[in-house]
Amino acid sequence: MVAALVPAFVVVNGLVAMARSARGRLEQEWAARGARDLAAGRASAAADDYYAAQAYARDHGRYRLDLARALIAAGRSSEARAELETLWIDAPGSGVVNLELARIAKNEGDLDDAARYYHAAIDGSWESNPAAARHGGRLELAQLFVERGLLPQADAELTILLADPPVDPRAAALAGRVAFSRGDYRTAAAQLRAAGPLDRGLGAMLDVATRALALDPDARGITSRERVRRVARLFSIALEASRRCESPAAAAMRERLEAAAPNVTERTLSRDPDASDATLELLTAAASVVQSACPAVGADDRAMALVVQRPRL
């Protein structure tokens, strides 16, 4: 009987081995197809491919992360979250899992969860190139804060990103945008220059920031004569902007500027210490009216408006 059973066991073991080999081939084929579909932009098809690969795999979690990424790309966030949360239960300190969960929360508009997962990703473990991975996660978080208008929080993350050389052009450009939005044109210009080659929008921002610095009458360290010169230059720019604006809404303000023009020269402003402040008050009102009627298109016009409308101490 024993002798008769041995061949049977051999046959069964052979069949099992063949079945496992076949499942292994199918697993690899579906996984490879998933990678190809995802690379080609067919995210939903890739997700289905990975589902099949996962079904054939002996380790059902082997393709869970790839599947989650395909589901995210396909816009199937609830399915992706389920896969990632399963991974998170087993490895709550995984940097890559927390990063993907952060991206889902960001896309769904959940700022608190997104920030929590981003910080967990930054502090988490990474199998390869952890410094670059943490840096990238922090940059994404800073961008999210900027998008939500949370500039102090963005500043905190950007300060860490820019603390160590070499300078990341993406972080420097974002820091420049943040500084520009809060009226710190000196920092904005410095960070934008550090960012290196800029696209058209950031290049225009650098141009305006540079001009605003040159026009600022309240800049530290300038002489009273230089302040007068800058006020006169600001008035000249505002007057020309009002003359180009043909909207009836700006007519009254244009008349006020024309009437004031003979008395707004470097010589007359130098004689009256209070005249510069009065001129700046007029320019603040003029910029608001003219900008509303005819939005600025030139760099000088934009710089002038930013300078005169900035709150003064």
Q: What is the mean pLDDT of the chain?
A: 90
The pLDDT tens digits of the residues spanning 57-107 come to 876 667 888 999 999 999 999 999 999 999 999 999 999 999 999 999 999
pLDDT value at position 22? 61
pLDDT value at position 38? 86
| pLDDT over threshold 70, residue 13 | no
pLDDT value at position 14? 44
3-state secondary structure the chain: CHHHHHHHHHHHHHHHHHHHHHHHHHHHHHHHHHHHHHHCCCHHHHHHHHHHHHHHCCCCCCCHHHHHHHHHHCCCHHHHHHHHHHHHHHCCCEHHHHHHHHHHHHHCCCHHHHHHHHHHHHHCECCCCHHHHHHHHHHHHHHHHHHCCCHHHHHHHHHHHCCCCCCCHHHHHHHHHHHHHCCCHHHHHHHHHHCCCCCHHHHHHHHHHHHHHHHCCCCCCCCHHHHHHHHHHHHHHHHHHHHHCCCHHHHHHHHHHHHHHHHCCHHHHHHCCCHHHHHHHHHHHHHHHHHHHCCCCCHHHHHHHHHHHCCCC
pLDDT value at position 30? 80
The pLDDT tens digits of the residues spanning 235-271 come to 999 999 999 999 999 999 999 999 999 999 999 999 9
Check: pTM over 0.75? Answer yes or no: yes
Model confidence band, residue 56 (pLDDT cutoffs 50, 70, 90): confident
